[in-house]
Structure 1
Amino acid sequence: MSKQSARETRAERAAAALEVQRRQERRRATLMIGGVVLVILAIVVGGFLINRARDTSTDVAAPAAGSGDYGVAIGDKSAPHTVVIYEDFLCPYCGELEKATHSELATLADEGKVYVEYRPFNLLQTDYSANAAAAFKVVLDASGPDVAKKFHDLLYENQPEEAGPYPDTGWLVDKAVEAGAEEGQVSDDITQGTGKAWVEDASAAASDAGVRGTPTILLDGKVFQDGRTVDDLANNLLAQLQ
């Protein structure tokens, strides 16, 4: 074999070895990415299941339909189904449930198939949970249930991470105005936390009813827990209301 042929053979072997190495590296990268995705999915699903396991809200006393003391409702009280959702504005699973059911529940309520009551309270015992729920009460009193429901929806659309940082009361005022509240009617009360006494009462009422976790869903007066994930829970709930 000539020197030139030997050099070409060595070059070909090196190129082949390099290609094998590159394929192995791509395969490792793909496996690593897939592993990370699976870990994230396991954390999300596992977190919900752990939260569900800790939740002992299996025997909750249903509030009187349409009582309106601690929440806001959509739909007709005479609808064939009633859904009550106990929630904390910071609870990430409440946020996921809201995303999965918001439009569908509104449509079903408009069609007269369900009466839905959202009952926020301070389960997580954070400043944001208390401030957001208190602001909700201020908006409800000052601007009525339609604006309060829009404010409720905006809080979930812009929900902060559970670990923080949390928006301040000025941000809550801005969201209230975005929902349709008059700034002059809500700004001072939201900033001063006027609604916090109501939040304490709402939280006590939820606790007295037997609520120990969020979201806690009552379907026609009974706790609804049909689902291993939030999406399963949402889909199964909606299926019951068709």
Structure 2
Amino acid sequence: MSKVTDPNAKGGNGFIWGVGVLLVIIAVVIGYIVWNGKQSSPNTLGDVDVQDVNMSMEYNDGAITLKSESAKKGTPEVDLYEDFSCPHCAELAQATDGDMKKAIEDGKLIVHVRTLNFLDGKEIETQEGYSTKAVAAMSELSKSGDVKTYWNLRDYMLQNQQKVATSWEIEDIADAAKELGADDDVVKSMKDVDIKQGNKVAKINYDKLDKETGSVSSPRIVKDGKDVPSEKDKKAGKNLGDWVEIVTK
């Protein structure tokens, strides 16, 4: 005669316990997958080493001016032209932003960041690509004076250019600003910004660069209407990666 096992017996409890363990393992695995997905999502920053910033920021006529209270009359000033879609701009940032930040904070340099959008296309006044969205959002952020968020967000966007340039919208840039500590009203103003502001700001900077130098490209460092490094600097073995040293010597 076959024997029917009592589900309430000890063996049944072991089975139930085993199923419970299996469910816990499954839950842990699913949780890890979700967490890992968030870390790699283009819409989240993940673990960012936020830098302290000891400088001020002002926006005026297309330029985002970064300076320190230590700056004096006669402190060297440069225009830094960059496009958030430009790989060489990202390379220059990686190579020289540390030196630039230190020079600004030490009062030895004033930088007017002038963002471009020409990599979106020739008709810069009507573009709606990533570069234009970045100009719109970052110029709006700069109006708030929140230089710490601006510096760290600009750094993130350039350091992670391949990741964000193909996926971020204005809303994503604003959300990233929030993750970096921007106030809610600043985040809202960034999300509400008209992309046409990006076209307008980029056009101002495009025209200024073209008028002063006769051409438009990025990255460019311009001091007193002339490119850095100069031809003399190049003959001395200097290149664009030496621009902070050249300007502040």
Taking structure 2 as the reference length, the TM-score comes to 0.59
Residue 115 of structure 2 corresponds to: 120
Residue 238 of structure 1 corresponds to: 245
RMSD (Å), alpha carbons: 2.9
Higher helix share: 1
**Structure 2 residue 104 is matched with structure 1 residue 97:** no
Distance 2:131 2:162 in 1: 11
Question: Residues 229 and 239 of structure 2 are in contact (CA less than 8 Å); yes or no, is this contact kept in structure 1?
Answer: no
Structure number with higher relative contact order (C-alpha < 8 Å, ≥ 6 residues apart): 1
Report the Cα offset of residue 219 of structure 1.
2.3
Q: Alignment partner of 1:129: what SS? A: helix
Match among 71, 77, 82 for residue 82 of structure 1: 77
1:117-172, Cα deviation, whole Å (9 max, x unpaired): 1111212126111111111122223453443233222221221269x633233431
Question: Residues 81 and 221 of structure 2 are in contact (CA less than 8 Å); yes or no, is this contact kept in structure 1?
Answer: yes
Q: Alignment partner of 1:124: what SS? A: helix
Cα distance change on mapping 1:73 and 1:150 into 2, 3 Å: farther
Question: Residues 86 and 118 of structure 1 are in contact (CA less than 8 Å); yes or no, is this contact kept in structure 2?
Answer: yes
1:169-207, Cα deviation, whole Å (9 max, x unpaired): 34312321133212x324444445x14232222222123
1:11-50 to structure 2, matched below 5 A, reads none
Cα distance change on mapping 1:112 and 1:201 into 2, 3 Å: same
Cα distance change on mapping 1:119 and 1:223 into 2, 3 Å: same
Distance 2:246 2:229 in 1: 13
The runs of 5 or more residues in structure 1 that have no matched partner are 1-65
Residue 111 of structure 1 corresponds to: 106
Q: State the AA in 1 paired with 2:112.
A: E
Residue 185 of structure 1 corresponds to: 185
**Structure 2 residue 46 is matched with structure 1 residue 70:** no
Cα distance change on mapping 1:216 and 1:195 into 2, 3 Å: farther
The runs of 5 or more residues in structure 2 that have no matched partner are 1-57, 121-127
Q: Alignment partner of 1:160: what SS? A: helix
Q: State the AA in 2 paired with 1:219.
A: K
Q: State the AA in 1 paired with 2:177.
A: A
Cα distance change on mapping 1:120 and 1:234 into 2, 3 Å: same
Cα distance change on mapping 1:168 and 1:205 into 2, 3 Å: closer
**Structure 2 residue 212 is matched with structure 1 residue 199:** no
Report the Cα offset of residue 232 of structure 1.
3.1
Match among 221, 224, 227 for residue 223 of structure 1: 227
Q: Alignment partner of 1:78: what SS? A: coil
Cα distance change on mapping 1:142 and 1:108 into 2, 3 Å: closer
Residue 156 of structure 1 corresponds to: 158
Q: State the AA in 2 paired with 1:238.
A: E
Q: What fraction of aligned residue pairs are identical, expressed as a percent? A: 24
1:82-112, Cα deviation, whole Å (9 max, x unpaired): 1111111111111111111111011111222
Cα distance change on mapping 1:152 and 1:71 into 2, 3 Å: farther
Question: Residues 134 and 198 of structure 2 are in contact (CA less than 8 Å); yes or no, is this contact kept in structure 1?
Answer: no
